[in-house]
Amino acid sequence: MKPNVLTIATVFSLLGLTVSGPVGAAVVSKWEFNDPPGLTAFDSVDGNDGTYKYYETSPGPFGGILPFNGTTNFVDVPNSSSLNFGTGNFSVGARIKTTSLGLELIVDKRIEGSGPVQGYSFFIGSGNLGFQLADGTGSNFCSTGSSSGCTNYSGGSATFIADGLWHDVSVTVDRTNPLGGQFFVDGVLKSTFNPTFRTGSVTNNKNLTIGRRSDSSNPGFLNGTLSCVYVAEGIVSNGCQDSQVKSVPEKSPISALVLFSLGAASTLKRKL
C-alpha cells in the first residue's frame, strides 16, 4: 500500500482554496522565437523586441526552438517601463528543455554588478527552479536578514526539470501574500515561498536578458533550449499557453510548519 503523502495541492483543497483566474492579470511580453531570419527576437504581445546576441550574423529562422550554448548565446531586451513592476505582483515563465545541473539564468532583470542588487531573476540551480527578489535595500549578500537587499528562493527537488524533456515552468509572485510565491511545472503547483519580506521596488534601469545575467561579469549562461518566455503583470502561471491563467486566493491560514513539512521553497543564503 502506498503511504499517504500530503501535497501542497491537497492542503490547498482541504483549506478550501481554489485555482482561479485573477482579475487584471495579463502577459506583458512574450518571446516565442518564431521569427524570420535576422537579429530581432520579436515580442508577440507588445513592442519589447529583443536582439539575438552571439548567434550568426543573420540567425534563424529558429521555428520556435531557440538553442543556448551555455557560453555566449543570449537574448537582450531593452529596458521598458512595462518590464518593471515596482512593488506590484508579477510572474515570469518559460518553456524549456535542458539537462544542465549548473547555476543558469532563464530570465534576469537586475542591477547587480553596478550597484545594490535590485530586480528579479528566474533561474535553474542543480536542475531545480529558483527565483531572486531584490529591492535594493541592503547588501548584495542575499538572505532574509534586514541588512540584505535580496532573497533567493529555491523550488527544491519538486521542481527538478533537468531531464532533457520539455517543461512549462513559471514563478508567480503575489507580494502581499505569505503563500504568494509559487513555482509551477507543467501547470502544476510544486512549491511555495513567502515573498512578503521584500517590500521595496524591483524597478531598475537594466535590460531584461534571456539566457544570462543582465549586469554581472559572471554571466550564468543558459545551456539548453527555449521555445517561449514571458513576463506578466499579476499572477499568470502558464502564459506560454494562451488564455490560461492560475492564481491562489489572497490569504491563507496555512502555517509555516505545514509548509516546511511539505518541502516548500527554501531560502538560499548566498548571492545568486
Model confidence pLDDT, tens digit, residues 147-182? 899 999 999 999 999 999 999 999 999 999 999 999
Closest Cα partner for 198 from 258, 256, 272, 117?
117
Tell me the residue length of the chain: 272
* pLDDT tens column, 190-208: 999 999 989 999 999 999 9
pTM of the complete model: 0.83
Scored b (16 or more CB within 10 A) or e, 34-64 reads: bbeeeeebbbebeebbbebbebeeebbebee
pLDDT, position 272:
66
Share of the chain above pLDDT 70, in %: 79
Nearby residues of 4 by Cβ (< 8 Å), 6 or more positions away: none
Share of the chain above pLDDT 90, in %: 68
pLDDT, position 94:
98
Radius of gyration of the chain (CA): 18
- For the cut 50, the answer to whether the pLDDT of residue 253 exceeds it is no
- For the cut 80, the answer to whether the pLDDT of residue 36 exceeds it is yes
pLDDT band for position 107 (cuts 50, 70, 90): very high
pLDDT, position 271:
54
pLDDT band for position 61 (cuts 50, 70, 90): confident
- Between residues 189 and 260, the one the model is more confident about: 189
Strand 90-97, strand 223-233: pairing: antiparallel
Residues paired with 122 in a beta bridge = 107, 131
Scored b (16 or more CB within 10 A) or e, 121-139 reads: bbbbbebbbbbbbbbbbbe
Q: Mean per-residue pLDDT for 180-185? A: 98
Mean pLDDT computed over every residue of the chain? 84
pLDDT, position 56:
79
d(CA 248, CA 183): 12
